[in-house]
Homo-oligomer: A and B are copies of this chain.
């Protein structure tokens, strides 16, 4: 069997460790020159495959590829581009196979979340239908931690570590000033549908009274009256109240709180997210001085404080993807299987893509306290190992030293294709 080339693409929102998986794919492929020729990366994700913008990663030095392990963002570019169903846009799938055929690509590694698992599955089906030999492997990645069949999703552990650290640090700040200054601090974190990141903020508190005091999860409809009672109690008891709120918090009507259609005096849509909205509510109803933070991209790009567990898992799924492909697997995803909580032990298994695609894993009920404002011991037991360990990037001139690859595009063989 002669060597065939591989294609790798990053999809959707990038993370602090998606490049770790890229690093693992390329390093592992390089260990098998008899089976895998070059690894081409899609420029800006799957769009790069459609437009035949293929980056030749063989031109990057081993040292630079190794530096991907400590570089956040998407080194080859990613995209928000969901392929339609095969019925709706068969042409795109055919084009992918044409590009693969033109460059003798026998391995397709797609690094993304639920949508890309679905795309990867369809590409596998299309290749089979067209009689084109291809191993299509999905590599899990999403800060939302909402993929099924895997204990966690690479990218999540590092966000979790960042938000818990930030909440602990800001909590100390607020606690020390609360007597004469800010009494209510609100931190808005990511998570449109699932409250995993908000839940992780709770890891900051180890003792009674420490921040955060309240979580506002998207799984629990917001109850203003009950919330305000709890804020007042916290301020009375601990001197302050620190709140973590999910960007996807839903109001009593089940609609996004931050999408309330409120406009300002100029008729502009409201400026803030749900964090400032909650802070403002507290100010109006209880009169407390408040501050709010919205970490936004900072949280998912914070490689400087990534979880070593997360890094190791991101690497493991990338390496396993290549190994599964070499073993002849198709339409699968390397999933993380938890073997033990403490010490945390895990291995990698192959999960069939048809069971991954389009299934969203929310927080289970038993992970949320009865009052809806906190997490249970079971949730803490689940989350704790995911943030364990550090692997700081190298620093240069006081800042993390991140790699920029050359990203050279190979010569095109086909006619242009308009995305």
Residues of A whose CB lies within 8 Å of any CB of B are 10, 13-14, 16, 44, 47, 71-81, 161, 164-166, 168-170, 172-177, 179-182, 185, 187, 203-204, 206-207, 262-266, 268-273, 276-277, 279-280, 284, 291-298, 300-305, 307, 309, 384, 387-390, 392, 395, 397-400, 402, 404
Contacts and interface: CB of A to CB of B under 8 A. Distances in A.
Interface of chain A, main secondary structure: mixed
Contacts of A263: 264-265
A10 B297 CA distance: 33
A173 B72 CA distance: 7
Given A271-B272, A284-B268, A384-B398, A176 B14 contact: yes
Going nearest first, the 8 A-B pairs with the smallest beta carbon separation are A73-B172, A74-B176, A387-B398, A293-B296, A271-B272, A169-B301, A271-B276, A272-B272
Copies of this chain present: 2
Contacts of A273: 276
10 contacts: A71-B172, A74-B176, A78-B176, A80-B180, A169-B301, A169-B400, A185-B297, A204-B399, A271-B279, A271-B280
Nearest to A397: B384
A406 B81 CA distance: 55
A173 B264 contact: no
Contacts of A298: 166, 169-170, 187, 293, 295, 298
Contacts of A305: 304-305
A5 B390 CA distance: 42
A187 B309 CA distance: 29
A168 B399 contact: yes
Contacts of A402: 168, 172
Nearest to A395: B390
B400 A75 contact: no
B280 A268 contact: yes
